[in-house]
């Protein structure tokens, strides 16, 4: 398998074709994210109750990596506390930036590991983390702001 094939493995293709939790969420906090390098756009909607993500959805268009990452994110963050979500994002960032501890982190990020191949393609890291930065802006109390990867 070529590196690019690995990058677009089945999990990514499946989430891109059939995105989970796609669409607006009413009465939710929202932020928009934009990755000018690739043209990915994303809106993340989230409801937080008692410090826990009780519902999360997204809308957007862009490359398969950005859409699949957002889809996987919604399935993995729903039901988690804000701290658990932030910890998961930190582990995911360690993996995709290939930083120290990345290999160990790989075992703790579940289906997100399918996106680990982006570490071979630095510009793609922004595609893979766009949804997470957008969700992060809401959880940090900055809902409504536009997040740009630049
Ligand atoms: Zn992209």
pLDDT tens-digit map of 3-49: 656 666 888 999 999 999 999 999 999 999 999 999 999 999 999 99
- What's the average model confidence in pLDDT over 136-146? 92
CA 131 to ligand 1 centroid distance, Å: 11
Closest to 92 (Cα-Cα) out of 34, 40, 133: 133
114, two tokens: 């399918």
Give me the phi and psi of 142, to 5 degrees please.
-120, 40
Domain 3-148: which CATH number of 3.40.109.10, 1.10.10.10, 3.40.47.40, 3.90.1010.10: 3.90.1010.10
Cα 38 to ligand 1 centre (Å): 5
CA of 81 to the centre of ligand 1 (A): 28
Question: Would you say residue 90 has pLDDT above 80?
Answer: yes
Percent of the residues in the chain that have a pLDDT greater than 70, as a whole number: 95
Residues with CB under 5 A from ligand 1 (ion): 38, 40, 62-63, 66, 127
| pLDDT on residue 6 | 64
The whole-number average pLDDT for the span 98-122 is: 89
Cα-to-centroid distance, 127 and ligand 1 (Å):
4
Strand, helix or coil for residue 97: coil
pLDDT reported for residue 7:
64
The Cα-based distances of 5 to 48, 103, 115, 122 in angstroms read 37, 21, 12, 16
How many angstroms separate the CA atoms of 102 and 19, rounded? 26
What integer pLDDT is reported at residue 105 of this predicted model? 92
Q: Are strands 146-148 and 29-35 parallel, antiparallel or unpaired?
A: parallel
Provide the percentage of residues in the chain whose pLDDT is more than 90.
75
Give the Å distance between the CA of 51 and the centre of ligand 1: 30
Residue keyed to tokens 């997204």: 58
- According to DSSP, residue 99 is labeled -
pLDDT at position 100: 85
Helix (H) or strand (E) holding 24: none
């Amino acid at each position: 398998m070529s590196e690019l094939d690995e990058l677009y493995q089945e999990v990514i293709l499946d989430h891109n074709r059939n995105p989970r939790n796609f669409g607006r969420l009413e009465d939710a906090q929202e932020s928009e994210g934009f990755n000018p390098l690739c043209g990915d756009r994303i809106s993340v909607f989230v409801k937080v109750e008692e410090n826990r993500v009780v519902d999360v959805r997204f809308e957007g268009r862009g490359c398969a990596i950005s859409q699949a990452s957002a889809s996987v994110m919604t399935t993995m963050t729903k039901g988690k506390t804000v701290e658990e979500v932030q910890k998961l994002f930190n582990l995911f960032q360690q993996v995709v930036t290939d930083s120290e501890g990345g290999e160990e982190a790989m075992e703790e990020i579940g289906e997100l590991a399918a996106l680990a191949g982006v570490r071979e393609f630095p510009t793609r890291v922004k595609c893979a983390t766009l949804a997470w930065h957008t969700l992060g802006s809401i959880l940090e109390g900055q809902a409504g702001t536009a997040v740009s990867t630049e």
